[in-house]
Amino acid sequence: MAYCYNCQPRESGEYIWVLGNQIEMTDFLMDQGVPESKREEVASGLYCLNCGTEQDLSSEIGQKSAEEELADEQWDQWRSEYAPKLEEFVDWLTKYPYLGTDHPLGREFLEQIAEFPTSTFTRDRWWRARRVEGPSRLVPKDMGPPPKPPRSEGRYNHHGQRVFYLASSKEDAAAEVLGEGECLSWVQEFEIRDRSKLLDLTAPMAHEDMGAIPILLAGLAWSRAHMASDDPDSEWKPQYFLPRFIADCARRHRFRGIVFDSPKHYGENLVLFRWKRSDIVEVGDPTLLEWQPPSEEDMPF
């Protein structure tokens, strides 16, 4: 179960089924061998892995196509081939964080990124989320780009670098900011008018030549999450060394930002390195979203 009705695009207010092979929930559960007496109970405990929408027995869902399944299998095989090289490179960055290009793989990253395609995505609506930290209602200006550089480092920014992180849906945005036990966030929709010169590092499709995919893609998809500190507030984030190096390479070649797959959800994320304020337009006001992040077993990576 990869998609649901809410994942599908709309035209003139009507849903058009595009993502996944459409199937009714009753047929899906029957195919999985769920007894008829248990189907309603099972369906009520399911949610869409793409957008997080809760499901029930009357739902229609989308299953991954054979091509998508093949792409997942090929991608896993290809990524595992490069894991040892990436491990070695991250070990190098851990010891010498400012000498990435002194390593052969670092030089390969820097060379490849100059020739990598810019994003051709047509999405112009993105979301930002913030945890609920007090009783005050947030307004659009509270949700916009940070007015000054953050005190801490992020996945794609060093200390002192001001960036703007966004996600492809309000649920995806909430998944990025909520931690274990947290369920409430403010979410704000934005229209991003200038989408030029964005580095596209989203996962490849099955029909592409997997053997020709640069190691750059594996470097971004492989976040080394197992290295994360047990303390979520710790400034020591070795799982960020490689993404930050990739971001440095992107900045070096004048990319305005990166479109990338997230290790926390199935949607896309966008990080902007530079922007004009007139190109970022708030859509409506911030709203509260109650959201339960998936368990670690349900994470896509």
Within 13 Å, how many C-alpha atoms sit on residue 106's CB side? 19
Element (DSSP H or E) covering residue 142: helix 140-143
Provide the pairing of β-strand 184-192 with 164-167: unpaired
Per-residue pLDDT tens digits of the chain, which is 301 residues long: 889 988 888 777 777 888 889 999 999 999 999 999 999 999 999 999 888 899 999 999 999 888 888 777 877 776 777 778 888 898 999 899 889 999 998 998 898 888 777 776 678 899 999 999 888 999 999 999 998 888 778 889 988 899 999 999 999 999 888 887 788 999 999 999 998 899 888 755 433 554 555 666 666 555 454 455 556 667 777 778 888 998 999 999 999 999 887 767 778 899 999 999 999 999 999 999 987 655 544 444 4
Residues 2/63, Cβ–Cβ less than 8 Å: yes
pTM of the model: 0.69
Match 């595992």 to its residue by tokens.
80
**3-class secondary structure for 148-187?**
CCCCCCECCECCCCCCEEEECCHHHHHHHHCCCCCCEEEE
Element (DSSP H or E) covering residue 250: helix 241-252
